[in-house]
Amino acid sequence: MTALEKATGDVVLKFEPFVLHVLCQELQDAQLLHSVAVNSGFRNSGITVGKGGKIMVAVRSTHCLEVPLSHRGKLMVSEEYIEFLIHIANQKMEENI
């Protein structure tokens, strides 16, 4: 809270979700991994095939959080709301684990 009160610009609380990149030898392997990831709840996953034939699977969750807290140095939310956001972010981290 002390740091927020001293901020002169915009402050955003941001939580980035889990990301895992896996290089696969065969497209069939990538498709299997992608299927397992999506069925396990990692809905934002995908397969990328590069120009050189490199096959990459990105396993990503959708557990992101981005909330503005202050604008031009003015705090836009209460301390209670910030505590609530931190609780939510910590829950998302537990889900990532």
- 22: DSSP letter: E
Tell me which residue of 82, 39, 73 sits closest to 59, measured CA to CA: 39
**pLDDT band at residue 3, thresholds of 50, 70 and 90?**
confident
Percent of the chain with pLDDT over 90: 72
pTM > 0.75: no
Over residues 27-62, the pLDDT tens digits come to 999 999 999 999 988 888 999 999 999 999 999 988
Structure token pair of residue 48: 């990328």
